[in-house]
Amino acid sequence: MFSTCLRTTLRTSTNKFGSLARYESTLVIAEHNNENLLPITCNTLTAARKIGGDVTVLVAGTKCETAAKSACKAKGISKVLMADSDVFKGFTAESLTPLVIKLCNDHKFTHVLAGASAFGKALLPRIAAKLDVSPVSDIIDIKAPDTFVRTIYAGNAILTLKSVDKVKVVTVRGTSFESLPLEGGDAKCETVAAVDVPNQVQFVKQELSKSDRPELTSAKVVISGGRGMKSGENFELLYKLADKLNAAVGASRAAVDAGFVPNDLQVGQTGKIVAPNLYIAVGISGAIQHLAGMKDSKTIVAINKDPEAPIFQVADHGLVADLFKAVPELTDKL
Amino acid sequence: MARVLVGVKRVIDYAVKIRVKPDKSGVVTDGIKHSMNPFDEIAIEEAVRMKEKKIAQEVIAVSCGPSQSQDVLRTALAMGADRGIHVDVPGPEYQTLQPVHVSKILAKIAQEEKVDLIILGKQAIDDDNNHTAQMTAGVLDWPSGTFCSKVENNNGELTVTREIDGGLEVVKMKTPAVLSADLRLNEPRYATLPNIMKAKKKPIKKISPKDLGVDLTPRIKIISVEDPPVREAGAILPDVDTLIAKLKEGGHIPSA
């Protein structure tokens, strides 16, 4: 049933926490668009399996059967619970919380997990408040079922903490855990009845930025532009390079604040956290807040005309050059 | 007319390079420049703008922490808040004070002060939790508008634009509600010298969590606080060709 690695994790955790030992059972709240699970859900499933014990996945949405079916294929999960109702339109925290609380009461989950995306960050603390437990944000590692590692101060310190609450409510940093492939599993899907939802928040609309490029947080290559790009039109240089490398395009806060690109491209402490194989920072000085979002990238390339820019202290390869010459040259030669 | 409660936190200034204590129990805070959490400045600004538009009647700023927290309350008052509440949590207790506690404190104050709207920053830049607004809404059973970049108020019905991963989202809710401010919500004003002087006369009420009946028992144990792994600085390359060669070497682009 369980993989060897899962069994080992379970065994060590039991040994380490003798008297506390109980069978772990984790609920993962899937983030999806009713058709597909979003990539961060697959990273969260890996974290859930690292905790050990049973993993149940909740897929709540409107006409979300396709998403629920794909969740059933994830290897090593025990069950998928599907809640299909119009009340979950917009996936608001207010509509999902009562359902999750009911499931927690019925199934006595020891852990409730979701990805640390805008969805997970809005939802899980509300659930934690209802359970009267202290949530744990954006974990980067799991040492034991009650011991987690996360970053504080914009990634400048690493905190290892032990949660003493009865239920651990945890959001997971997607880039810190491998993605669990949605294949090889055959979990059964149970439908759960919707619970009464207070009509508190009315979903009006979403305006998503359209792009053919890979999604920022899961892209293998990310090219980001900063204040040095000087204008939104100049980002075209980065898009051309991105197309050659099949890369996602990101931005520093300065570029977003200056209106060069929309907010959802911001990489940093208060934007997205990325950890691609290759991160190319163009015209970005490398403030603490930006580094918080990208310094776990495998290889960092910086192109900046200021040799003193802090970005060069974390860059594997630095190019002190005018980006308006270097970027087109790079694009042409690739 | 609505009464607005704004939470403000005193944190190490965002521009300070923090240092981890040698005993790994936390980061060095003594003698370090502190200021108001940047997201809380945005929250105060939004509340004050509501007052200027006559949507809000009174803006109450609240801060939980040691006595120095009064400094950020004064800043909030100088920006235009009417009065402050300092929830006194001394040093040792403050070390383990978490959003689970703060949200209960805020909820209690919100009920006692009969506020219609709570505005908080989306996250504090020290613990980077991003919890308190959501949890306060949970405790009170109020709707929440998290990560707001725009708030329109129409007779107590709020139209909130939220920053989400793929772009923006619009939701509607009725007050009472809890909002959390994202960076794009507004541009906070500077406190002018006359306003700083005036703020000295505005009242700050000091209370303790006990007065509110909130239990501060720690829910987490800090095992350790450590430095992140240091990245070794790489090399400065002479030209684009060398960069391409390095990328090929690293397997980032296929070598032709």
B92 band by pLDDT with thresholds 50, 70 and 90: confident
For chains A and B, CB pairs below 8 A equal 251
Give the contacts of B221 (CB within 8 A, at least 6 positions apart).
A161, A162, A164
- C-alpha distances in angstroms, A120 versus A31, A48, A171, A252, B122? 8, 15, 7, 23, 14
Residue A6 has pLDDT above 70, yes or no: no
Cβ neighbours of B182 in A, within 8 Å: 263, 270
- Confidence category of residue A10, pLDDT binned at 50, 70, 90: very low
Q: How far is residue B217's CA from residue B162's CA, in Å, rounded to a whole number?
A: 33
Q: Say which of A137, A161, A318 has its CB closest to residue B223.
A: A161
Instruction: Tell me the residues of chain A between 177 and 196 that have a Cβ less than 8 Å away from chain B.
Output: none
Question: How far apart (Å, rounded) are the C-alpha atoms in residues B17 and B224?
Answer: 19
Nearest CB to B233: which of A205, A217, A313?
Answer: A313
Closest CA to B7 of B178, B174, B129, B183: B178
3-state secondary structure of B55: coil
What is the predicted pLDDT for the residue at B40?
A: 98
Residue A134: C-alpha distances to residues A163, A170, B102 (Å): 8, 9, 11
Task: List the 193-222 stretch of A: residues with Cβ below 8 A of B.
Answer: 198, 200-209, 217, 221
Instruction: Indicate the burial class of A17 (C-beta count within 10 angstroms; 0-12, 13-18, 19 or more).
Output: middle
Asked whether the predicted pLDDT for residue A48 surpasses 70, the reply is yes
Q: What is the rounded average pLDDT for all residues in chain A?
A: 92
**How do strand A111-115 and strand B204-207 relate by DSSP bridges?**
unpaired
Residue of B nearest to A291 (CA): B231
Nearest to B183 by CA among B102, B118, B123: B123
Q: Could you tell me if A195 and A247 are in contact, meaning their C-beta atoms sit under 8 angstroms apart?
A: no
Q: Is B139 on the interface with A (CB under 8 A)?
A: yes
B240 neighbourhood in chain A, CB within 8 Å? 319, 321, 326, 329-330, 333
Q: Is the pLDDT of residue B255 over 70?
A: no
pLDDT of residue B1: 57
pLDDT in tens, A145-159: 999 999 999 999 999
Closest by Cβ to B171, choosing from A92, A126, A278: A92
pLDDT of residue A270: 86
- Interface contact B100-A135, CB threshold 8 A: yes
Which residues on B lie below 8 Å from A277 (Cβ)? 252
Residue B254 has what pLDDT? Answer: 73
Amino acid at position B216, single letter = L
Of B144-148, B193-197, B204-208, B244-248, the range with the lowest mean pLDDT is B244-248
- Please give the share of chain A, as a percent, with pLDDT higher than 90: 86
Q: What pLDDT is recorded for position B233?
A: 77
B250 interface with A at CB cutoff 8 Å: yes
> In the structure, what pLDDT confidence band is assigned to residue A23 with cuts at 50, 70 and 90?
confident
Q: Which pLDDT score is estimated for A22?
A: 58
* CB-nearest partner of B129 from A92, A137, A301: A137
Query: A interface mutation test: which of B17, B171, B182, B242 has the most A CBs within 10 A?
Result: B171
**pLDDT (tens digit, 9 = 90+) per residue, B37-87?**
999 999 999 999 999 999 999 999 999 999 999 999 999 999 999 999 999
B171, amino acid identity: V
Tell me how far CA of residue B227 lies from CA of A161, B1, B31, B161, in angstroms. 15, 49, 20, 37
Hey, what are A184's tokens? 């090889």
Which pTM does this prediction carry?
Answer: 0.91
CB contact burial B151-177 (16+ within 10 A = b; e otherwise): bebeeeebbbbbbbbbbbbbbbbbbbb
The whole-angstrom distance between A306's CA and the closest CA on chain B is 12
The share of chain B scoring above pLDDT 90, in percent, equals 90
Which pLDDT score is estimated for A11? Answer: 46
Beta-bridged to residue B207, according to DSSP, are B87
Token look-up 């979701």 returns A114
Task: Give me the pLDDT at residue B256, please.
Answer: 55
The yes-or-no verdict on residue A2 having pLDDT over 90 is no
**Which is more confidently placed, B253 or B144?**
B144
Give the gap in angstroms from C-alpha B86 to the nearest C-alpha of chain A. Answer: 23
DSSP state of B189: P
Distances (CA, A) of B248 to A20, A220, A321, B245: 51, 15, 20, 5
Q: How far is CA A237 from CA A15, A124, B61, in A?
A: 56, 39, 46
* Residue B50, both tokens: 């509501």
> Chain B residue closest to A259 (CA)?
B184
Confidence of residue B230 (pLDDT cuts 50, 70, 90): confident
Residue with tokens 């053919």: A212
By C-alpha distance, which of B76, B71, B101 is closest to B5? B76
Nearest CA in chain A to B181: A270
Dihedral class, residue B116 (left if φ above 0, else alpha if ψ from -120 to 50, else beta): alpha
Tell whether B220 lies on the interface with A, counting CB pairs under 8 A: yes
Q: Which residue of chain A is at minimal alpha-carbon distance from B217?
A: A164
Which residue in B103, B101, B63, B4 sits closest to B205, CA to CA? B63
Q: Reduce the secondary structure of chain A to three states and give it as a string.
A: CCCHHHHHHHHHHHHHCHHHCCCCEEEEECCECCCCECHHHHHHHHHHHHHCCEEEEEEEECCCHHHHHHHHCCCCCCEEEEEECHHHCCCCHHHHHHHHHHHHHHHCCCEEEEECCHHHHHHHHHHHHHHCCCCEEEEEEEEECCEEEEEECCCCEEEEEEECCCCEEEEECHHHCCCCCCCCCCCEEEECCCCCCCCCEEEEEEEECCCCCCCHHHCCEEEEECHHHCCCCCHHHHHHHHHHHCCEEEECHHHHHCCCCCHHHEECCCCECCCCCEEEEECCCCCHHHHCCCCCCCEEEEEECCCCCHHHHCCCEEEECCHHHHHHHHHHHC
Q: pLDDT band for A16, please (50, 70, 90 cuts).
A: very low
A163: pLDDT strictly greater than 70: yes
Q: Is B253 on the interface with A (CB under 8 A)?
A: yes
pLDDT in tens, A178-206: 999 999 999 999 999 878 888 899 999 99
Residue B164 near residue B147 (C-beta atoms within 8 A)? yes
Smallest CA–CA distance, residue A325 to chain B, in Å, is 10
In sequence order, what are the residues at sequence separation of 6 or more whose Cβ sits closer than 8 angstroms to the Cβ of residue A11? Answer: none
The answer, for A318 touching chain B at a CB cutoff of 8 Å, is yes
Could you tell me the end-to-end alpha-carbon distance of chain B, in angstroms, rounded to an integer?
69
The answer to whether B30 contacts chain A (CB < 8 Å) is no
